[in-house]
Structures are given as structure tokens and as C-alpha cells.
Structure 1
Amino acid sequence: MLGLFDFKEIFTAGMILFAVIDIIGSIPIIVDLRKKVGHIQSEKASVVAAILMVLFLFIGETILSLIGIDVNSFAVAGAFIIFFLAIEMILGIQLYKDDAPETAAIVPLAFPLVAGAGTMTSILSLKSEFATPNIIVAIIINVIIVYIVLKSSKKIEKLLGQQGISVIRKIFGVILLAIAVKLFAANIQDLF
């Protein structure tokens, strides 16, 4: 059973997903949501995000081919999304504005905050590099981290403070920027 799993692949895939999901960098958004809606449904958001990510791992390419989009085009589009997310994180600006949600579970937590376009693009990219069981384990590990962060967002906010959260957000922004560049470079040649 252990022969199926490659811990290096799990670690690498897990770190890529961790950087793209950026749940630590999303703490300011989570705190703001909690203030607006009163309660965050951590369990529901985590389970729905996990289901979306695993489903996309298995049927993402099929869905894309049904609507006439190849994986490379999706990856390049995802690279742009990841790029803009990284710019938001590094510069501390907000490019995307959404209406205020009524509840904080499926929208906007599970989708698009955790299992958004950047995450889905990363999952498809990971699928071309790593074994599926390793990606599933990486997804599960990240969903557990997401759940823990959602459940203890109030404590994390107090522990890190606004400055700590800001520093972490900028660090993960740079990591995301590097991922976006790599994703773009790896897929742009195949489009032409």
C-alpha cells in the first residue's frame, strides 16, 4: 500500500496547493466574512471544497474537452488568474470585488476562495506531473489545514496580528507569482 505513495510528490503537490489555496493569506478575508455573517461553516466549506477538487481531478479534462477548451489553454488562463491573485497579495490591492455574501460556507469559502480557478488549474497541472493518489493525499492534507484555519481563524488573527498576516500574505504572493510564471511558460508553447 505504501508503495503507491511517493512522499516527495505528496509534499510537492501539497505545497503547491497550499500556496495556491493560500488559506493563511486568506485569514483577513475570513475574518471579514465572519464579521459580516456572524458564523463560518467550517465543516461544510471544507467538505465541499474537497469534493470539488477531487471531482475536478478526475473529470476536469473531460469537462474542458466537452466545451472545446484544451488543458493548455485552461492552464494559461489559470496562470493569469494566479498571477493576478499574487499581485493582489504582494501589493495589498483588491482587483476582484464580490457582493457581500449571506452565509459563509459554499460561496465564497469553498468556491472560489479554496477551490477556485487557480486551484483547479493547479490540480490539472499536477495531474500531468504526479500520480493521482499522491494528488488526492495532497488535497486531503490541504483540506484538513483549511478546516483547522477556518475553525481557529479568531485565534490565528489574535496570535499573528495584522502585521504577521500581512507578511505571510506577501511571502505566499511571491510563491504564487513564481507558480504563475512556471505554469505560463510550461503551457504557452503548446498553444502555438
Structure 2
Amino acid sequence: MNFSFKEIVTASMVLFAVIDIVGSIPIIISLRNKVGHVQSEKASIVAACIMVAFLFVGERILNLIGIDVNSFAVAGAFILFFLAIEMILGITLYKDDEPETASIVPIAFPLIAGAGTLTSILALRAEYHVENIVVAIVVNIIFVYIVLKSSGKIERVLGKNGLSVIRKVFGVILLAIAVKLFAANINQLLSQ
């Protein structure tokens, strides 16, 4: 076992910034208003299962289609970069249609375990030990569950400005992580 507190914290921060559950509170609240109830437990468990499964079989899927982890990590760095730009500048480069129901599908996937999250998990796998990433996923899922359960209270306490500040701060952190991920993996790609 290669548990590393530093790796767990870094991976947790990356996933926290990519999942952006705090920034998704307005979407969660509008879903709750539309359908009356958000299934927090189910959404959290399903998202965790998707993320852990992708951590273990994602690389095999890539090998099946002939892509190495370093190439995927560089592609992931670009996705993280654009997600960070969206968070910092408050613009929308890509927007899914708003989901119709608050079941597992719109919240667990793609809101929590979406393309950005799955890409980040594989990109992290290129740099960190698997057990540290699993701990980071669990930490984030616990936080996601708490946010889903108390989204109304959080919105009232932080207000729109508070949510905006948190989003921008994590955008800057995500941007720095994207640059680091790109630099670490591009060297390995170029030396092949």
C-alpha cells in the first residue's frame, strides 16, 4: 500500500474542482423545485461506483482502442484547462441540456461523474497511486452527499457572491493543476 497524504489531498482537490458540486447548487435547487426530491444517497453511491469502476477499467478500455494513459492525461489536461477557464471567467463553453428529472441519471451522471471527472480520474492515475485516488473519490463523494442533502441551506448561507468566489478560487487551482498535468505527461509523450 502506497498511501500518501499529499497525493490524497491533491487528487481530492482536483476532483473537487472538476466535480464542482458547490457550483452546481443552482442546478440541484432548480431540479429539486421541478420534481420535489433529489435522491442524494442513490446519486452519491452510483457516482462513486462509476468513478471507481472507471479508475480500474478505464485504462483497459483505452488500450482496447489504442490510446496510452499519457495521451489521455494530456487530453485530460486540456479539458481541465477549459473547465478552469469557464469557472474563472464565468463563461459557458459547453452546456448540456438541463435534465428533466432528479433521478440518478442527471445527478450521478453526468453532473457528478461526468466526462471531466472521468478524464481527470484517468489523468490522475497516470501520476498517482490507485489507493490514494480511491480515498480522494470517497472523500469527494462524502462531500457531494452532504452538499446534495443541504443544498438549500448552503445557497442561503453563501449567497450568489459566495458561490461565485468559491468557484473562481477552485478555477485557479484547477488551472494550475491542468498546467502541471500537461507538463508532466507531454515530456513522457515526446520522449517516446
- TM-score between both structures, scaled by the size of structure 1: 0.88
Secondary structure of the 1:44 match is helix
Match of 2:125 among 124, 127, 148: 127
| Unmatched runs of 5 consecutive residues or more in structure 2 | none
Opposite residue 80 of structure 2, the aligned amino acid is: I
Aligned to 1:116: 114
Partners in 1 of 2:150 and 2:57 — Cα distance?
A: 33
Percent of aligned pairs with the same residue? 75
Which residue type is aligned with residue 111 of structure 2?
Answer: L
State how far apart, in whole Å, the 2-side matches of 1:92 and 1:4 are. Answer: 38
- Residue pair 1:13, 1:138 contacting (<8 A) in 2 also: yes
TM-score by length of 2: 0.88
After superposing the two structures, state which structure 1 stretch, 81-90 or 129-138, moved more: 129-138
Which deviates the most, 25-34 or 151-160?
A: 25-34
After TM superposition, where is structure 1 displaced by more than 4 Å over at least 4 residues in a row?
none
1:144-171 deviation line (CA, Å, top 9, x unaligned): 1000001110110001011101111111
Supply the RMSD in Å over aligned alpha carbons.
Answer: 1.9
Shift of 1:4: 5.7
SS at 2:67 equivalent:
coil
The correspondence of residues 84-163 of structure 1 with structure 2, limited to 5 A, is: 84-163=82-161
> For the Cα contact (< 8 Å) 1:48–1:106, is it kept in 2?
yes
Aligned residue in 1 for 2:70: 72
Unaligned stretches of 5+ residues in structure 1: none
Mapped to 1, the partners of 2:18 and 2:86 lie a distance apart of 13
Q: How far apart are residue 120 of structure 1 and its match?
A: 1.9
